[in-house]
Every structure is written in structure tokens, then in C-alpha cells.
Amino acid sequence: MSETNRFQIEHLGAPNYKSPLQLSTVRGDHIFNFVSESDRLVFDISMDQYAHCLSTGEEPNCLEKAGPRQNIFFDPKETTAAIVTCGGLCPGINNVIRGVVMALHYFYGIKRIMGVPYGYEGLNPEIGHGFVELTPEKVKDIHQFGGTFLGSSRGGQDVSVMVDTLESNNINMLFAIGGDGTLKGVDAIGEEIKKRGANISVVGIPKTIDNDIDLIDESFGFETAFDVASPIIRDAHNEAAGAYNGISIVKLMGRDSGFIAASAALAMPVVNFVLIPEMDFQLEGELGFLGVLRERLERKKHAVIVVAEGAGQQLFTDKNRVKDASGNVKHSDIGVFLKERIKEYFTDIPVTIKYIDPSYIVRSAPANSSDSVYCSRLAYHAVHGAMAGKTKFVACKVNNKFVYIPITEVTKKRKKIDLESEFWFSVLQSTGQPFLLK
């Protein structure tokens, strides 16, 4: 695929059915308009890219605008949909499930909607989970709770078996809610469907509490995560300030990217150090972390440290890394490690150390109001795209606009904090920690 059409979405075929949505095609009549297939949004909106395209005559990379189409591919009366949730928990999963069910049922009149229990395991009949029928009545209140109504699991199943299951149950569209591994899995399912020439749409709705899906503005649940973490950090500060040379260490989610730790520190600006996977820091030496921590205690008599779970892995001598079922490296516990090293270092002065790990509380929380709005809109756009016959795409927000992007584009790499970005500079300004801790 050439650079100019890298964001082109695959279609199952011509959309020959009229949408049941009573929308408009005329501007100014105060009724929302159908989105045209020609509606595109420029991906790189920088002045440099604009000047480059002007000087070279190149067409800029553009994204498909998300939304309802006037013509749809599937006949709603003959359509069956399925929803699966995979990977770790994240605030907002139930909101997305609810939004997809409501959109399919009320917008398009689809009456048969199946829930796939316990992730991709539910698409393997040998495991025996079966399906759960989803109706508006069953899902109407699930947004008030954290976790996932359908259950989840890590790891994939045989792609051929999963597609066999979809075909044998006459499922026409599969909505997969999950992170990097889940999205790669549903893309593989889409490839197998394509080989078979089947008319099944597969759609990804990006879910990662770490906010590490590439290209997109933000993943759902991320904002709730640092919202929930903020009062925990506040209380950690109270613990630290309440003791002479008190130190509080708060470990937050963030396997490869430190967005939660950094954002939580900005949201609750009582944090003195933020340690994230993107930074290479040392403990010893004049400019090492422990020396800078000593200076902080000498001046203020307390310190609050927020550390992402994937930070400081270079400090561990054991390099034998095991992986979970999703293929993610299981990191050593940096929080416990820091606590022990700090205790060993401060033998000349008394210190009081409190270690707090609220990770599972944070990820199991229900979505806040902002994330709830976001989840509903993501769900609606995912349904509109699937009904139009689009496949192997994610519904997401880029440059503050809802768009469709091929799954392959968002899974090429993980999004990480740029240590030279204004965002990270804001964190350093808030904490007062040095640019480098080595």
C-alpha cells in the first residue's frame, strides 16, 4: 500500500441497502447529515507537512471520517452481531458493550446480538463457554460497573477455529474490544475471513488503560485511570508529609508507556518524582535518583514518588523475562525494588517508607463521565462502520475527530511518551525533578 493511501479501509462489497436512519443530505436543515465516503480528514495537520504537500504536489495522508452512511452493506433483518472483550480490565468496557448493543438494536433494528464469554476462548467450542444473548434489557445498567460483563482472557486461539465458529453461528460482524494483542488477533481473523471469501466484518475498538495504542489521541478508560489514581496520590502525600523524612511510593499501571503515572502527577501536583519506562535512570551516583531523593528530604522532609510498573527494568540483574498469555513481558516489581533500595541507602538518617500499589483498583473502576461519553461515541461509530461493510478497522479519535483507521496501522508500534515533548516538560515542571536522573 502506498504512503498516500495507507489509511484506506477494506470493504466487504458494495453497500446496496438503504440505511434505516432518518438522516439528511442537505446542509442547513438542522438534521445530522449522512457521512459521505469521500469525507476525509488530513492526518498530519502540521504547517511543515502542509508546505511539503504544496511544494511537491503530493496528496496528504487522509483518514476516513467516521459516522453513518446513507447506504449500508448488511440487511438488518438478516444480520447477527457478536461482541468479545479481551486482555486486562479497563474502565469503560461495559460502556462500550452497552453502546454497541443499543446502537445495533435501536439504530439498525438488529435483534440477534451475541456476547462471546471470556475473550477469544469463547470462540473455541472445545472450551465450552458458549454464547450469551445480549439485549438492551440485559445491558442497560452495566455501564455503572467496572470490569467486563462478558468476562475476558489473555492469549489467542486457533484463527481457523474462531472463524469456523463465526460462520457456523451465522455471525456477520464481530466487535473486538481490546488492546494491541486483541487488535492483531481480530485482524488475523479478518484475513482468514478474506481468504474464505466470507462476508463477515471485523471491527476493533481500542482498549488499553496504558494509552499506548499508536496514532490515536487517547484510548478509553485512560482518563478514568488517572482520575481514580489522583486521590490515592493525595493520600500518599498525606502519609509522607505526616512523618519525618516520610516517603510514599505509588506504583501505577504502565507496562511500556508512562502516560498514567505522568498524567496522574499533573492531575494531583503533590508528586516529587515520576519514573516511567521511557526514561533510563540510575539509582547511584551524584545525579542518580537516590542522591536527588536525599536532597529533597534535606529540604522538605518528605517525598512522593509515582512509578509506572514498567519503569526501571534495566536495574534488575535477572534478565530472564517470562511472558504472559498475551505475549507481554512480565516485569519485575519496581515498586518493591525501590522500597528496598531506598531503605538500604538511608542508613544514616531515619526514613519512613510507605508503598502503595492500587493498580487493580484503578483498572477495575467504572468509567467517569468523560470516559462514558467517549465510550458511547466510539461504540456508535464502530457500529456505523460495520453496517457499511467496512472491515479490519478501528473506530478511534485522531486530531480530536472520530475516524476509521486500518488495524494494521495502529499495531505497528506502541505509543510512548516523548521525553522532549511539552507534555513531559509539564510533568518535570510540576514535580521539580531534574531532566535526567543519571
Q: What does the DSSP 8-state code read for residue 357?
A: -
Phi-psi region of 400 (alpha: psi -120 to 50; beta: other; left: phi over 0): left
Q: Is 385 annotated as a binding residue?
A: no
Tell me the mean pLDDT in the region 96-107: 98
Handedness of CA 375, 381, 384, 389 (dihedral sign): negative
More confident: 155 or 8: 8
pLDDT score for 171: 98
User: What cell does 139 get?
Assistant: 445491558
Q: Which residues contact 184 (CB under 8 A, 6 or more apart)?
A: 407, 411
When the pLDDT of each residue in the chain is averaged and rounded to a whole number, the result is: 95
Percent of the residues in the chain that have a pLDDT greater than 70, as a whole number? 97
- Residue 280 bears catalytic tag: no
Q: Tell me: the pLDDT tens digits for 238-284?
A: 999 999 999 999 999 999 999 999 999 999 999 999 999 999 999 99
Q: Tell me: the pLDDT tens digits for 282-327?
A: 999 888 999 999 999 999 999 999 999 999 999 997 766 666 655 6
Q: Tell me: the pLDDT tens digits for 171-214?
A: 999 999 999 999 999 999 999 999 999 999 999 999 999 999 99
CATH domain 222-365+419-431 topology: Rossmann fold (3.40.50)
Q: Which residues contact 141 (CB under 8 A, 6 or more apart)?
A: none
Lowest mean pLDDT among 22-36, 214-228, 309-323, 363-377: 309-323
Q: Is 341 annotated as a binding residue?
A: no
Q: Is 114 annotated as a binding residue?
A: no
Which of the four pLDDT bands, split at 50, 70 and 90, describes residue 85?
A: very high
Q: Is 57 annotated as a binding residue?
A: no
Compute the distance between CA of residue 83 and CA of residue 181 in angstroms, rounded to an integer: 16
pLDDT score for 38: 94
Tell me the mean pLDDT in the region 92-99: 98
Percent of the residues in the chain that have a pLDDT greater than 90, as a whole number? 94
DSSP labels, 41-110: EES---HHHHHHHHHH-PPPPEEEEPS--SEESS-GGG-EEEEEE-SS--TTHHHHHHHHHHIIIIIH--
Q: Is 180 annotated as a binding residue?
A: yes
Compute the distance between CA of residue 385 and CA of residue 118 in angstroms, rounded to an integer: 25
pLDDT score for 4: 55
Q: Tell me: the pLDDT tens digits for 109-119?
A: 999 999 999 99
Tell me the mean pLDDT in the region 377-395: 98
pLDDT score for 5: 78
Q: Is 88 annotated as a binding residue?
A: yes
Q: For residue 3, is pLDDT > 90?
A: no
Q: For residue 2, is pLDDT > 90?
A: no
Catalytic residue among 187, 210, 212, 256: 210
Q: Tell me: the pLDDT tens digits for 49-84?
A: 999 999 999 999 999 999 999 999 999 999 999 999
For the chain, the distance separating the N- and C-terminal CA atoms, rounded to the nearest angstrom, is 43
Q: Is 347 annotated as a binding residue?
A: no
